[in-house]
Structure formats: structure tokens, C-alpha cells
């Protein structure tokens, strides 16, 4: 494709079929600041589960925070998870040392729900490809 | 700060301050032969300091701080202080670099043509660049490529190469012992040993090169080469750049120019020697 | 089909570079880069004539293209040059062909595209 | 000289900086979020090449910062336009949107807006509808604390743009002793022309902001008249709030900023009546720039009256004294008190490596920050709950 003739790139010279696409499809991807690839070189990170703001809360299987002692919920982790442990947990489901698999799923879901500004978010973001 | 050291690597100057002496001693040995910044003027400040005041003495732990800081960063043990200094410099570049478009990529050059190799960690680009740097190519950098926005040239940033686990043995067989830093066992990323680039890479650290090929190497697969479409290259390079968004329009112009003017290939390789052979073939084709 | 009318930025606000059938847009007012696939660039183009609601956008597109709500069997994702396009890894997979056709399908598909463009800030309500 | 003191001297008198510890100056400026402002102040001064490159990059980045800040404001405007309420930009975004001198190189983090308190729920719902998400756990202690006692909603963050918005309904926590008149703030606010439905282009970069940042964005007063704002004519924001017209137009879809005197009152409240003075040098720099730009006999009288109205005459007077002391702001501010000297020392507690110094003093101001926000019993309960949660 010629790189310079941009202005006419989408003006067809003959009638072309234009497909609008399914409602759930996506045709716009926005470039976001990316730290993921460099994270290994810049950051040795940890994620507390849960963050200090919610210390003592239990973590429900869906990752939400619930009152201490809620049946079926996982207790808070005594130590933060290291970046490598989080990566393995999220990518292959392998459980961190000393954690049963049901709790590990709850912790994984908690981490997936982290948002910017919450403790552990930059660590989580650095382990992911940009959304 | 109690101890400090200034270093210039290509166009970027750092000052590193530390509460302890040992990380800076290790850094000075590793970067022997590098120039000092002119008049001591530095672009970035790195600080290695105790997380809490008493942690300078009791179970010393090195927090990585500086001009730019990430929350959630965990401290390293003092035994890994050299790694902390290296990560501190990387962190300043990743978060604070606003002059050049920064790509997370290794770069080697021959006859004025540069090959940019990028990919996720573990793709083997560091090892590949280190080995090419000993086999007749000039190593421009194993971690960050700096794209000059006006000229489209790549600038060298020949930091010490960070070798991990298996790559350490590969390079120990290739390079004299005096260019290695200490072996750092049991870091959060496994075993790490730093390697000082050779004398040519350091002597020519102010000499840029035109990008001639963008490579997306992937280690551990049967040898294969495929072309990569421009849109995919653009997307992958924005994901490899920490400052693309912050550079605004200038970043857009520089990156679209690069993508339209430089061919790109993805290569799979089962071992480093195979990749070195493939890259030698590319070079002949580019020269032809 | 009365509904909200949409406006796109003036051409000077967006720099477009075509790469392999996709377009990379630099949007000056936001400083953001968007990678867009068909039919997003065509919709933005159609809005250059002025504000328009869904029906009017569809009419403008139909003047230039044979508009279909969903890809027919055997056709790739999107309409323009789909045969030669390489889809980047980070783009979503092509939508599955569906038997739904008719007015509603056009409106639904176009509304989804406009919602994406609006969320990205590339079009706004008039 | 501490890094912060060197930074203050460079900002006040750029020409006085000859051979200095440039590394310390830049380190302190980055740590205080003032590198952009410093880079504009030092423009045209003879500085070493590497330093000039750092300043040039900072000036370029400032343009991008401005674009992102104004874009966030515009996306917020689009989300809230259907509500037809006055939406008032505050702090950094407001300085940029109004093209004020204070915006030169000014960093902007969160978007701060002020809206009528009785529309908070509708505002929050509209923002959530447009892609902003709650940061704090809904119904948790922090969330409830915010809703009951704070002057703002719990922070929201946009899911795609990763930017935070602070939605205020007044300028101090409800627990603080001064009670600013939020209705008067809104009543006196000034419309930014070109921010309505069809005027988005006016918010784009390059408009209202010359290469040296002369404010040239015409500002309409509430009555809707657009007044000439070309430099060097007096800035239209100089009009006293009393000159404004009828109450907010129903169906309004444009953005506003606070009236000039209220802007200064808010900046002083933010610096001195709330929080622990961390990053205070930048907030004080805002005050210096605003005072210099707005200064006139009328303005001084209006500022005094508005400070009294909002029960913030003490903080405003102290802000003037500190600004005059540190940045040489030409205002009749009076002598520094003993307490002022503690504030000065707190503001300058940063060395040339960017590290904070004077731990005890900073801790004292941390306690003061909480003290200002809360009655003693409530403070004890708050700190207790926070400590137990840790």
C-alpha cells in the first residue's frame, strides 16, 4: 500500500460492500500508555490481597470484598503476592504456595478487579498487556 | 545522599544516589570505561534508599525511588543492590523519557543499518543482541531503543546487558570474565548477571544509525519467518513504547513513519545460533 | 428513524494514516491515537457532510457503498479490502455471520458503531 | 540552600540563576510537580545544553498535558450536558481552560469540577453511564465517609482513559470549621465561551493559548455577552462577580470557571485550610500567578470581600503573606507571623535529591491537616478506624 496517499484510502473507485458488523464487534481500538513489556525491567512488584484500605475483609469467589467470616469467601492473605506469583496465577491458574485452589481463584478475581489508584494496580497493569 | 555516582549512557545521563556504598561500587565496576556526564549535569535522578530509616542497618532493603516512582514497587535485598540501581535507571527512562520515542527493544547495527528486535520479556532479544554484539555487529542497546523524532534515526543506549538464567552460561562461554558483574542469585526474576558491552559499543555510543529492519523474535519454536502487516507492527510498537502516548502528535508522526518505511518480520527460533544465522541472511538481503 | 444527531470533528482535527486496510487516527483535540477498522472511517467520512441521525448516515453510506449489516458467508471481517487484510493480534476476532437481516439489523449495527465512536470521542451528539 | 529553596529562587527570579546545582534544581522541581512551570520561567535564559534540553522537553510535554486536561473536561461536559446544570472547572483544568498565566507548564492530574449539591446523585449517575467507575468499594468505610462528610464524591475513574474525576459540591469538607458559600461560588461563576455543544473546537490546543501563553480566550460573563479578551487588554476574568447576570440558564451545556476572586480563595483554602501542605509549593505558585494576573484595586477589594463571605479570610491573608515572601508577589501582605515561618519551613522541606526533609515538621502538619478537617472526637474515631483497617 502506498503510504502517502492517505486521503483517498477509504474512497472507493467502484461500489464496494460495506459491512456494518455485529453489535458486539469492535472497530475502534485506542492506544493506551503501555508499561507491560518494560515492567520486568523497571519494577519488582507486589499485590496485597486485599489492599490496606480493605484490610480484614474476606474475598468472595467473584473477587468482591465481603465481611470477615462470610461463608465461602477466602480469608485475606497474610503476605502480598509477588509479581511472578500473580503472573502464574492469572496466566496458568497455578496457585501460590500455601493457598488452596478455591481461594486462589477468589484472589485472582480480586486482582482482575483492581483499578487505577488501588493498591496493587500498577503491579497488575504491568503484568498485563494493555487493555 | 550518602553516596553518589553519575553515569552517561549514550545521550542520557543519570545520577544515582544511595544510602549504601556497595550498590554503587558494583555499578562503578560494571560501567568501567563509560564517560562521566559533562559538567556533572544529569537528566535523571535515581535514589536507592531504605524503605524505613532503620532498614538501612537491620535486614537492609533497597527501595527504588527517584524523579519518577511507581507505587507497588517492592524493595530488593541489599545483596541485589546492583539490580536495584539498574531497575531504577530503567524506571526513569520508562516513565520520564520525553525527548525520544522509547521502544522496549534491543538494537544492533552493521554498516550503518540497524535491526530493532522487540517482544515480550522471555522472547530472547537480550541474549540475541548480546551474542550478535560479539559476532561482528555493534550492540546499540539490549533494553531500550531511542528513536529520534526529527531524523528517524536510532540512538545508541548501550547499558549493561541483563542476562537471565540460561543466557548467563551462553554468554560466559563467549566473553572474557572481566566484563561480567557479579552473579545475582535468587532475584525475583531468577538468576541475573550483567554484562558490559564491548569496547566498540562504548566508544561509538554517540553514533546513531538508520533503522533497516524490525524483528519480532520468539524463542523456543521451530525456525520460521513470516511478514507482519503494518497495522500489526504499529500496534505492537505502541505496546512496546512507554512514552508513545505522552509524546502526542510527535510520537504519532515518528511511529507511523517508522512503520511505513521499515520492513518487519516475525521470526521463531529454537536456539540462539539459528537466530544469528537467520539475521545474517536478512543482512545479506538488505544489503543486496 | 428519528434519534440523536451525531457530529464528527472537522477534518483538520484528525490525521489519518492508512495501514493495511486499517486506519490509524491521531485525534488532535484529545491527543489520542485510535486504530480503526471499517466501517468506522467510512462513518466518520459520511459525517463530514454535517450532523446526521442514524437514518441519514445510512442513506449517505448507501450512496457510496452497498451496505450490509453483517458479513455474508465467505467474506472476511469488514468490507473493504478484507481479502488482503492482516488482522492484528490485539484486534477482536471477526464477528460470526448471523442470519438476521432487515431494517432493524442495519440500525442496530450502525448504532453499535456510533456508540464506539462516541465513547472514543470521535463523534458527539449534536 | 535546600533544593526547594533553589527552586523557589529560580521561579521568582529566573535571571538570578547562573551557575547553580542544576541537578538539585531539576530534582526538586520534578518532586514538587513544578518542572513544567520552571521550564517556561527559564525560557530564554542562558542554561547549559543538557538542562535546556530537559526544559524544552518539559515545555513540549506541557502542551500535551493541556490537551489531555481539556479533553477530559470536554468528555465530562458531553456526559453532563443532558442535565442542564452549571459545571464549573476548578484548579489546573480551569487555569488551562481559561488560558491563565497559572496554566503555563501547570501539571494536571485529576479533573476537578464543582456542581450544585442537590444534583450530585444525577451527576454521579451520568458519569457512571458515560464510563466512569467507582474507585472505593461502594458502601465501605471510605465510601460512606466521603458521602457523609466530604466536599466531594468518592473519586471516580474513567475505564478507558484512566483519568480520575473529583466531583465537588463545595470547596472544603463539611467537617471543617469555615463554611464557604457554595451557592455564591456557583452564582458568580463565569461561562467559558466555545465550550458548548457546537464549540468544541475552541477547546482544542492552540486556541486561547499563544506560544508564550498570553490569555486570549474571550470570556463571556453570565449574561452571555462575549467580551474582548485580546492581550494586552484587561483579562475578562477581571470583572467582579457582582457584574454577572441572571442565574444559570436552564439547559446549559457549557463549562464554567470560578470568578477570579473565588479562584484565589479556593486556591488558598486548598493550600492552607485542607490537607498537610504536601506539594504546597505548586499550589502557592498558582496563587502567585493568579494574584499577579488579576491584580487591580478593584480586585483586591473583591478578594477581601469574597474571602470574608466564604469564612476564609485567615487562610487567604496567610496565602498572600507566604506568596509574597517566597515568590515576591507584589501584594500588600503584611509581616510574616511566627506561625507563617513554620509554614514556610514546611513548604521548603525538600532537598536537591527530591527527598522530603524535616520529618517531625511534616508530621505536625499531617496532624494539623486532620485537625482542620474534623472535630476532635470525630478525628479520634476516624484515625482509630483507619488504624484498625491497616
Q: What is the pLDDT of residues D280-314, one digit of tens each?
A: 999 999 999 999 999 999 999 999 999 999 999 99
Q: What is the DSSP string of D94-160?
A: HHHHTT-GGGTT----SEEEE--GGGHHHHHHHHHHTTEEE-SPTTSHHHHHHHHH-SBPSPEEETT
**Subunit contact B229:C86, Cβ cutoff 8 A:** yes
Q: B193 and B55, same structural domain?
A: no
Domain that holds residue B224: 101-287
pLDDT, residue D42, reads 96
Q: How confident is the model at residue A6 (pLDDT cuts 50, 70, 90)?
A: very low
Helix (H, G, I), strand (E, B) or coil at C110: helix
Whether residue B124 has pLDDT greater than 90: no
Among the candidates B96, B129, B148, a domain finishes at: B96
Q: B110 and B85, same structural domain?
A: no
Residue D86: C-alpha distances to residues D169, D185, D197, D199 (Å): 12, 11, 14, 16
Chains in touch with D (3+ beta-carbon pairs under 8 Å) read A, B, C
Least reliable range by pLDDT among B49-63, B118-132, B189-203, C84-98 = C84-98
- Whether residue C33 is contained in a domain is answered as no
- Whether residue C106 is contained in a domain is answered as yes
**Subunit contact B67:D61, Cβ cutoff 8 A:** no
- What is the arithmetic mean of pLDDT over D98-122? 96
| A24 to chain D, closest Cα gap in Å | 17
pLDDT 10s digits, B55-93: 778 888 899 999 998 877 788 999 999 999 999 999 999
Residue of C26, C28, C88 lying closest to B231 (CB–CB): C88
pLDDT, residue C81, reads 37
- Longest CA–CA span in chain D (Å) reads 58
**What value does the mean pLDDT of chain A take?**
75
Q: B128 and B85, same structural domain?
A: no
The radius of gyration computed from the CA coordinates of chain D, to the nearest angstrom, equals 20
pLDDT 10s digits, D52-78: 999 999 999 999 999 999 999 999 999
Task: Calculate ∠ Cα B96-B116-B83, nearest 5°.
Answer: 50
DSSP assigned state of B40? G
CA pair distance D136, A115, nearest whole angstrom: 10
- Longest CA–CA span in chain A (Å) reads 68
Whether residue C88 has pLDDT greater than 70: no
Residue of D140, D155, D390 lying closest to A117 (CB–CB): D155
pLDDT, residue D388, reads 56
CA pair distance B142, B117, nearest whole angstrom: 9
Contact D362, D356 (CB under 8 A): yes
Q: Choose between D53 and D371: higher pLDDT.
A: D53
Q: Which three cell numbers stand for residue B147?
A: 528513536
User: D105 CB near a chain B CB, below 8 Å?
Assistant: no
Pairing, β B61-66 against β B113-118: unpaired
Q: B130 and B20, same structural domain?
A: no
Contact B118, B105 (CB under 8 A): yes
Q: B125 and B91, same structural domain?
A: no
Q: B149 and B92, same structural domain?
A: no
Q: B169 and B282, same structural domain?
A: yes
Left (φ > 0), alpha (ψ -120 to 50) or beta: where does B175 sit? Answer: beta
- Whether residue C62 is contained in a domain is answered as yes
CA pair distance D321, B34, nearest whole angstrom: 49
DSSP assigned state of B112? T
CA pair distance C65, B113, nearest whole angstrom: 44
pLDDT, residue A11, reads 53
| C75 to chain D, closest Cα gap in Å | 31
Domain count, chain B: 2
Q: How confident is the model at residue B156 (pLDDT cuts 50, 70, 90)?
A: very high
- What is the arithmetic mean of pLDDT over D72-95? 96
**Subunit contact A119:B72, Cβ cutoff 8 A:** yes
| A81 to chain D, closest Cα gap in Å | 17
Interface of C with D (CB under 8 A): 7, 9-10, 13, 28-32, 119-121, 124-126
Domain count, chain D: 1
CA pair distance C115, C124, nearest whole angstrom: 10
- What is the arithmetic mean of pLDDT over B195-200? 97
Q: What is the CATH number of the domain that holds D362?
A: 3.30.460.40
Residue A33: C-alpha distances to residues B234, C66, C101, D68 (Å): 14, 38, 39, 13
Residue (of D92, D20, D22, D26) closest to D62 by Cα position: D92
Among the candidates B96, B113, B143, a domain finishes at: B96
The answer for A 26-45 residues in CB contact with C (under 8 A) is 26-31
Q: B128 and B11, same structural domain?
A: no
- Whether residue C42 is contained in a domain is answered as yes
Whether residue D358 has pLDDT greater than 90: no
- What is the arithmetic mean of pLDDT over D266-270? 96
CA pair distance D204, C26, nearest whole angstrom: 13
**Subunit contact D137:A116, Cβ cutoff 8 A:** no
Q: How confident is the model at residue D233 (pLDDT cuts 50, 70, 90)?
A: very low
Residue A5: C-alpha distances to residues A8, A103, B62, C17, D50 (Å): 6, 56, 54, 9, 39
CA pair distance D279, D33, nearest whole angstrom: 7
Q: B44 and B125, same structural domain?
A: no
CA pair distance D25, A50, nearest whole angstrom: 39
Q: B181 and B162, same structural domain?
A: yes
**Subunit contact D160:C32, Cβ cutoff 8 A:** no
Contact A76, A56 (CB under 8 A): yes
* Domain residue extents for chain A: 35-127
Pairing, β C22-27 against β C14-19: antiparallel
Residue C75: is it exposed, middle or buried by C-beta count within 10 angstroms (0-12/13-18/19+)? middle
- Count CA within 13 A, CB hemisphere, residue A95: 11
Domain that holds residue C102: 38-70+97-125
* Chain C contact set for D68 (CB, 8 A): 30-31
pLDDT 10s digits, B224-247: 999 999 999 999 999 899 999 999
| A26 to chain C, closest Cα gap in Å | 7
Share of chain A above pLDDT 90, in %: 2
**Subunit contact B232:C88, Cβ cutoff 8 A:** yes
Q: B171 and B64, same structural domain?
A: no
Number of Cβ within 10 Å of residue B171's Cβ equals 21
Q: Which three cell numbers stand for residue B67?
A: 524523579
Using CA of residue A96, residue A99, residue A101, residue A102, what is the dihedral sign? negative
Whether residue D149 has pLDDT greater than 50: yes
Contact D55, D42 (CB under 8 A): yes
Q: Choose between B2 and D365: higher pLDDT.
A: B2
Q: How confident is the model at residue C99 (pLDDT cuts 50, 70, 90)?
A: very low
CA pair distance D20, D265, nearest whole angstrom: 35
Among the candidates B75, B96, B117, a domain finishes at: B96
Share of chain B above pLDDT 90, in %: 79
pLDDT, residue A40, reads 65
Interface-testing mutation among D29, D50, D63, D279, with chain B (most B C-beta atoms within 10 A): D50
The packing angle between helices D260-272 and D297-309, to 10°, is: 50
- What is the arithmetic mean of pLDDT over D156-160? 87
Domain count, chain C: 1
Q: How confident is the model at residue C20 (pLDDT cuts 50, 70, 90)?
A: confident
Q: Choose between B133 and A118: higher pLDDT.
A: B133
Least reliable range by pLDDT among D6-15, D337-346, D381-390 = D381-390
pLDDT, residue A49, reads 87
CA pair distance D92, D279, nearest whole angstrom: 14
Q: Which three cell numbers stand for residue D76?
A: 465530562
Domain that holds residue D109: 3-389
* Bridge partners for B193 per DSSP: B163, B183
Contact D106, D296 (CB under 8 A): no
Phi, psi (5° rounding) for residue D59? -70, -40
Q: Note the Cα B188 to chain centre separation in Å.
A: 18
pLDDT 10s digits, D5-50: 999 999 999 998 877 899 999 999 999 999 999 999 999 999 999 9
- What ipTM, to 2 d.p.? 0.84
Which of the given ranges, A85-89, B236-240, D159-163, D218-222, has the highest pLDDT on average? B236-240
CA pair distance D111, A115, nearest whole angstrom: 17
Residue D293: C-alpha distances to residues B98, D198, D219, D305, D374 (Å): 30, 30, 15, 19, 34
The answer for A 46-65 residues in CB contact with D (under 8 A) is 52-56, 65
Residue B240: is it exposed, middle or buried by C-beta count within 10 angstroms (0-12/13-18/19+)? buried
Q: B40 and B129, same structural domain?
A: no
Q: What is the CATH number of the domain that holds B206?
A: 3.40.50
Whether residue B258 has pLDDT greater than 80: yes
Number of Cβ within 10 Å of residue C40's Cβ equals 27
Residue C21: is it exposed, middle or buried by C-beta count within 10 angstroms (0-12/13-18/19+)? buried
Residue of C18, C35, C78 lying closest to A9 (CB–CB): C18
Whether residue B219 has pLDDT greater than 90: no
**What value does the mean pLDDT of chain B take?**
93
The radius of gyration computed from the CA coordinates of chain C, to the nearest angstrom, equals 14
Using CA of residue A77, residue A83, residue A85, residue A91, what is the dihedral sign? positive
HEC profile for chain A? CCCCCCCCCCCCCCCEEEECCCCCCCCEEECCCCCCCCHHHHCCEEECCCCHHHCCCEECCCCCEECCCCCCCECCCCCCEEHHHHHHHHHHCCCCCCCCHHHHHHHHHHHHCCCCCCCCHHHHHHHCCCC
pLDDT, residue D46, reads 93
User: C38 CB near a chain A CB, below 8 Å?
Assistant: yes
Residue of D26, D54, D353 lying closest to B1 (CB–CB): D353
DSSP assigned state of D329? -
CA pair distance B73, A83, nearest whole angstrom: 10
Interface of B with A (CB under 8 A): 64, 70-76, 86-87, 90-91, 94-95, 104, 118-121, 143-144, 162, 188-189, 230, 235, 238-242, 244-246, 260-261
Whether residue D238 has pLDDT greater than 80: no
Amino acid at each position: 500500500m502506498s503510504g502517502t496517499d492517505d486521503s483517498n484510502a477509504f474512497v472507493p473507485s467502484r461500489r464496494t460492500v460495506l459491512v456494518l458488523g455485529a453489535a458486539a464487534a469492535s472497530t475502534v481500538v485506542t492506544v493506551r500508555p503501555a508499561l507491560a513489556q518494560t515492567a520486568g525491567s523497571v519494577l519488582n512488584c507486589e499485590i496485597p490481597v486485599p489492599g490496606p484500605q480493605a484490610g480484614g475483609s474476606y474475598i468472595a469467589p467473584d473477587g468482591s470484598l465481603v465481611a470477615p467470616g462470610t461463608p465461602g469467601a477466602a480469608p485475606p492473605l497474610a503476605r502480598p503476592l509477588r509479581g511472578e506469583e500473580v503472573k502464574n496465577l492469572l496466566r496458568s491458574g497455578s496457585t501460590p504456595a500455601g493457598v488452596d485452589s478455591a481461594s486462589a481463584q477468589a484472589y485472582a478475581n480480586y486482582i482482575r478487579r483492581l483499578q487505577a489508584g488501588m493498591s496493587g494496580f500498577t503491579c497488575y497493569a504491568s503484568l498485563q498487556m494493555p487493555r | 545522599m550518602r553516596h553518589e555516582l553519575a553515569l552517561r549512557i549514550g545521550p542520557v545521563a543519570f545520577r544515582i544516589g544511595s544510602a549504601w556504598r556497595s550498590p554503587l561500587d558494583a555499578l562503578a565496576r560494571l560501567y568501567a570505561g563509560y564517560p562521566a556526564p559533562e559538567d556533572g549535569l544529569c537528566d535523571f535522578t535515581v535514589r536507592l534508599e531504605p524503605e524505613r530509616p532503620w532498614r538501612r542497618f537491620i535486614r537492609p532493603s533497597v527501595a527504588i525511588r527517584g524523579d519518577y516512582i511507581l507505587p507497588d514497587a517492592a524493595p530488593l535485598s541489599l545483596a541485589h543492590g546492583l539490580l536495584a540501581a539498574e531497575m531504577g535507571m530503567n524506571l526513569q527512562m520508562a516513565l520520564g523519557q520525553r525527548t525520544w520515542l522509547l521502544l522496549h527493544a534491543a538494537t544492533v547495527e552493521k554498516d550503518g543499518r540497524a535491526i530493532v528486535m522487540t517482544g515480550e520479556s522471555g522472547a530472547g532479544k537480550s541474549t540475541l543482541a548480546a551474542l550478535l554484539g560479539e559476532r561482528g555487529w555493534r550492540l546499540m542497546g539490549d533494553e531500550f531503543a531511542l528513536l529520534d523524532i526529527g531524523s528517524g534515526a536510532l540512538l545508541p543506549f548501550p547499558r549493561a546487558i541483563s542476562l537471565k538464567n540460561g543466557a548467563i552460561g551462553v554468554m560466559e562461554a563467549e566473553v572474557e570474565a572481566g566484563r561480567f558483574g557479579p552473579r545475582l542469585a535468587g532475584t525475583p526474576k531468577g538468576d541475573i548477571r550483567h554484562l558490559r558491552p564491548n569496547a566498540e559499543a562504548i566508544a561509538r555510543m554517540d553514533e546513531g544509525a538508520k533503522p533497516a529492519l524490525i524483528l519480532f523474535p520468539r524463542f523456543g519454536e521451530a525456525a520460521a519467518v513470516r511478514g507482519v502487516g503494518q497495522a500489526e507492527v504499529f500496534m505492537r510498537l505502541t505496546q512496546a513504547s512507554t512514552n508513545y502516548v505522552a509524546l502526542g502528535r510527535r510520537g504519532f508522526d515518528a511511529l507511523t513513519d517508522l512503520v511505513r518505511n521499515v520492513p518487519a518480520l516475525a521470526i521463531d527460533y529454537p536456539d540462539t545460533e539459528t537466530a544469528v544465522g537467520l539475521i545474517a541472511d536478512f543482512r545479506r538481503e538488505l544489503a543486496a | 428513524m428519528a434519534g440523536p444527531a451525531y457530529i464528527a470533528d472537522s477534518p483538520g482535527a484528525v490525521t489519518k494514516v492508512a495501514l493495511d486496510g486499517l486506519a490509524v487516527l491521531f485525534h488532535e483535540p484529545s491527543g489520542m491515537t485510535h486504530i480503526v477498522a471499517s466501517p468506522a472511517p467510512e462513518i466518520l467520512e459520511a459525517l463530514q457532510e454535517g450532523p446526521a441521525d442514524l437514518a441519514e448516515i445510512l442513506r449517505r453510506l448507501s450512496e457510496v457503498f452497498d451496505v450490509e449489516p453483517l458479513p455474508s458467508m465467505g467474506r472476511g471481517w469488514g468490507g473493504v479490502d478484507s481479502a488482503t487484510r492482516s488482522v492484528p493480534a490485539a484486534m477482536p476476532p471477526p464477528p460470526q455471520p448471523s442470519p438476521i437481516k432487515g431494517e432493524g439489523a442495519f440500525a442496530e449495527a450502525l448504532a453499535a458503531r456510533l456508540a464506539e465512536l462516541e465513547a472514543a470521542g470521535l463523534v458527539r451528539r449534536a | 540552600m535546600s533544593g526547594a529553596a533553589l527552586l523557589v529562587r529560580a521561579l521568582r527570579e529566573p535571571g538570578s540563576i547562573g551557575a547553580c546545582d542544576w541537578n538539585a534544581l531539576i530534582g526538586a522541581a520534578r518532586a514538587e510537580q513544578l518542572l513544567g512551570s520552571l521550564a517556561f520561567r527559564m525560557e530564554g535564559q542562558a542554561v547549559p545544553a543538557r538542562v535546556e534540553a530537559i526544559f524544552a522537553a518539559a515545555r513540549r510535554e506541557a502542551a500535551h498535558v493541556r490537551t489531555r486536561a481539556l479533553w477530559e473536561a470536554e468528555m465530562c461536559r458531553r456526559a453532563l450536558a443532558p442535565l442542564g446544570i452549571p459545571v464549573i472547572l476548578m484548579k489546573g483544568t480551569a487555569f488551562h481552560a481559561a488560558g491563565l498565566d497559572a496554566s503555563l507548564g501547570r501539571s494536571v492530574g485529576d479533573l476537578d469540577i464543582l456542581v450544585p449539591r442537590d444534583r450530585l446523585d444525577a451527576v454521579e449517575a451520568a458519569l457512571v453511564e458515560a464510563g466512569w467507575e467507582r474507585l472505593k468499594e461502594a458502601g465501605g468505610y471510605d465510601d460512606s465517609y466521603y458521602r457523609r462528610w466530604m466536599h466531594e464524591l468518592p473519586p471516580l475513574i474513567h475505564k478507558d482513559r484512566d483519568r480520575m474525576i473529583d466531583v465537588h459540591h463545595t470547596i472544603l469538607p463539611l467537617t471543617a470549621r469555615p463554611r464557604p458559600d457554595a451557592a455564591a461560588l456557583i452564582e458568580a461563576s463565569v461561562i467559558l465561551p466555545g465550550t458548548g455543544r457546537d464549540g468544541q473546537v475552541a477547546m482544542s490546543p492552540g486556541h486561547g493559548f499563544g506560544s508564550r501563553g498570553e490569555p486570549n480566550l474571550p470570556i463571556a460573563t453570565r449574561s452571555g455577552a462575549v467580551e474582548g479578551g485580546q492581550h494586552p487588554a484587561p483579562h475578562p476574568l477581571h470583572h467582579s462577580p457582582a457584574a454577572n447576570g441572571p442565574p444559570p440558564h436552564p439547559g446549559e451545556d457549557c463549562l464554567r470557571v470560578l470568578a477570579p476572586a473565588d479562584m484565589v480563595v479556593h486556591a488558598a483554602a486548598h493550600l492552607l485550610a485542607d490537607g498537610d501542605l504536601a506539594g504546597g509549593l505548586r499550589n502557592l505558585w498558582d496563587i502567585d500567578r493568579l494574584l499577579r494576573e488579576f491584580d487591580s484595586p478593584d480586585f483586591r477589594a473583591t478578594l477581601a470581600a469574597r474571602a470574608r463571605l466564604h469564612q476564609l479570610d485567615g487562610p487567604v491573608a496567610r496565602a498572600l503573606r507566604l506568596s509574597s515572601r517566597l515568590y515576591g508577589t507584589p501584594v500588600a501582605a503584611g509581616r510574616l507571623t511566627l506561625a507563617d515561618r513554620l509554614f514556610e519551613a514546611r513548604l521548603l522541606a525538600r532537598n536537591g535529591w527530591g527527598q522530603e526533609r524535616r520529618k517531625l515538621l511534616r508530621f505536625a502538619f499531617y496532624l494539623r491537616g486532620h485537625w482542620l478537617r474534623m472535630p476532635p472526637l470525630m478525628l479520634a474515631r476516624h484515625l482509630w478506624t483507619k488504624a484498625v483497617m491497616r
